[in-house]
Chain A
Amino acid sequence: MTMNPKLSLGPVLFYWPRDTLFDFYAQAAEMPVDIIYLGETVCSKRRSLGSKDWIELAARLSRQSDKEIVLSTLALIEAESELKTLRRLCDNGRFMIEANDIGAVRILSKKGIPFATGPGINIYNSASLDLLASKGLKRWVLPIELSNQTLRQIQLRRPEGIETEVFCYGRMPLTLSARCFTARSHNLPKDDCQYKCIDYPDGRLLSTQEQQPFLALNGIQTVSAKTCNLLPELPLLKELQVDILRISPQSTHTGKIIDAFHKALLNQGASDLGKYMPLGPCNGYWHGVDGQAELNSSGNR
């Protein structure tokens, strides 16, 4: 019999105010998720919470609930100050780290500390997974653009004791840059960004010249305008022995989305998440086609 996968709450990708984050995680402590990822993964200029605050929040959540708390690291590390923050997180001595940059993998493996990798670490094949497992990897998130067929092949040869997590719900992180696109959209340079991201709790919409919603700008990160939703793929996710389903936080209704996944796992009925996805769903990557596509479970458009 296959085990039911666990549910995780991914790190908040967007710039939310400090109080919003505290409120959100106070609610998350009550949500039916098994794992909560905490931390700033996009921009080191965002200061709602510093690394010390994140570690304290992790301690508080872990006192209040029986959830596993993981600390997620910055995805693009350029400055020495960012390396310092990274080292502080890696040295927390208690919570597992989700490495979102190979620099984090290096620091952790050198210290012999087990770690997880986020969706931005390119594990596209078994040889990569094996090598990282030999360095202390315990859990990996399938890179966003890989399909269920690729995952099937990797799962067949998965090293023992490695957990597989799949990004199942949310606007998908598609790219990172040195340039801040939100600041640019306000005609501001990054060094004087005026923290404009805080005005866009789910990213700032970018559309084509024929008004087709396309992307959402999230500082130096760009995410999809559409929302990835793999809830209807649950039978296949289970068949592929995926251990963890990740739900990426959005500014509204995250609790309801988690409830829907939780209910589906308990066979308590399917929910329509359509109303929580402002610009509609997509699942193309999972089916091996363009990521923006929406296919039905048989793989047809």
Chain B
Amino acid sequence: MELVCPAGNLPSLKAAVDNGADAVYFGLRNDTNARHFPGLNFNEKRAREGIAYAKSRGKRIFMAINTYPRPEGWERWTQAVDSAASLSVDALICADIGVLDYASRHWPDLNLHLSVQASSTNYEALAFYHDAFGIKRAVLPRVLSLSQVRQVVENSPVDIEVFGFGSLCVMVEGRCILSSYVTGESPNTHGACSPAQFVEYRETSTGLESRLGGLLTDRYDQHETAGYPTICKGRFAVGENTFYAIEEPTSLNTLALLPELYRAGVKAIKIEGRQRTPAYVAQVTKVWREAIDSCRKEPEAFVAKSAWIDSLDQVSEGTSTTLGPYYRPWQ
């Protein structure tokens, strides 16, 4: 079981490698990847440095080109694929059918992974991408229960990677346009959900307000810490109640499920968070490295150590974690 860690910049990439990642994933500094945030990601020179750093230490490097190009910007995506090939990355993580087609025809030797943004939740969908483009691995959206993950792994023609830790996207990635409904920009089109330039905090007589594109996402009293106004993590009114109608601001943490994911035949655990700091990457990578090693040695005796959980809780969004959809009652 491989540990795949995020890198939004070179220090994070080094932190991942130094703390035990088997593979690191990154994106270029444009809208070709789903973490297109200001000041984040790699230009080609930095990418080259990062790749050399990882490869010289025996680690693998994946590049994410996992947004959906529209005809207006198509060349940016094909150039990104060409860059990935010339950088000799170990795999390309893609979502768009057109991009996968381009990559598989122009660079047949390049390993392709299906991004979580491709919204593939069943083995028939995975078989489509396998037959059409020869993908080697797929990252599953964070919507399946553990038994459904098992079912997919058993029947999938490709290796399966699942999210182990990080911000919890409760929607089927690649099929959520809440962000563009409010701002005009979505992860699919612009590589960012609830982009920073639309975020606003207002101090009012009734407390602090967070807004996205002018839309009120939440109000906080003085004892509460204001969160980032990702739409699905706001408090809204439905019927008589005002509550986290979609999801609380929590992080996904599947540490406790690790032996079951391992026994199910999951080939890789992905850590979310290219937008997070090198310190986050270091801390999370270190914990998951120890956990995976412990699980591989003795899956039957595996216990998630409280020190690991404490360490992960410290860096979680909203400083709490959930098993998310893997745990059926969450759904």
Contact = CB atoms under 8 A, between A and B. Distances in A.
Contact of B69 (A75, A83, A125): A125
B247 A179 contact: yes
B96 A208 contact: no
A103 B216 contact: no
Contact of B97 (A103, A132, A157, A177): A132
A42 B74 CA distance: 32
Given A124-B188, A145-B180, A175 B128 contact: no
B68 A122 contact: yes
Given A124-B188, A175-B178, A178-B170, A209 B70 contact: no
A253 to B, nearest CB: 24
Contacts of B314: none
Contacts of B183: 290
Tell me the dominant secondary structure on chain B's binding face. mixed
Contacts of B125: 77, 101-103, 105-106
Interface in A106-156: 106-107, 109-110, 120, 122-128, 130-132, 135, 144-146, 149-150, 153-154
Contact of B70 (A83, A125, A285): A125
B180 A204 contact: no
Nearest to A172: B181
A239 interface: no
Interface in B227-244: 234-239, 241-242
Nearest to B74: A125
Contacts of B201: none
Interface stretch (A2-10, A11-19, A182-190, A230-238): A182-190
A180 B217 CA distance: 20
Interface in B242-268: 242, 245-247
A292 interface: yes
B329 A189 contact: yes
Interface residues of B, number: 70
B11 interface: no
Given A77-B121, A78-B144, A209 B219 contact: yes
A177 B122 contact: no
Contact of A204 (B99, B188, B238): B238
A153 B128 contact: no
A91 to B, nearest CB: 14
Contacts of B174: 122
Interface string B105-148: 00000000000001111111101110110000000001111001
Interface string A44-72: 00000000000000000000000000000
Contacts of B97: 122-123, 127-128, 131-132
B9 interface: no
Interface string A229-262: 0000000000000000000000000000000000
B124 A145 contact: no
Contacts, number: 214
Contacts of A210: 216
A127 B99 CA distance: 8
A135 to B, nearest CB: 7
A132 B129 CA distance: 12
Nearest to B98: A127
B96 A122 contact: yes
A58 B197 CA distance: 48
A206 to B, nearest CB: 5
B238 A291 contact: no
B213 to A, nearest CB: 6
B132 A214 contact: no
Nearest to A191: B328
30 contacts: A78-B143, A78-B144, A78-B145, A82-B122, A103-B125, A124-B68, A124-B188, A125-B70, A125-B71, A126-B98, A127-B97, A128-B97, A130-B98, A154-B71, A178-B145, A178-B172, A179-B330, A181-B245, A184-B245, A190-B331, A191-B329, A206-B236, A206-B237, A208-B234, A209-B219, A209-B237, A290-B181, A290-B184, A291-B177, A292-B181
8 closest Cβ pairs, A-B complex: A127-B98, A153-B71, A103-B124, A178-B143, A106-B128, A175-B176, A124-B68, A128-B98
Given A102-B125, A102-B129, 9 more contacts: A78-B145, A103-B125, A106-B128, A125-B74, A125-B98, A181-B245, A185-B239, A208-B215, A209-B242
Interface of B: 68-72, 74, 95-99, 101-102, 118-125, 127-129, 131-132, 142-145, 148, 151, 170-172, 174-178, 180-184, 186, 188-189, 213, 215-219, 234-239, 241-242, 245-247, 325, 328-331
Interface of A: 75-80, 82-83, 86, 101-107, 109-110, 120, 122-128, 130-132, 135, 144-146, 149-150, 153-154, 157, 172, 174-181, 184-185, 189-191, 204-212, 214-215, 217, 222, 224, 284-285, 288-292
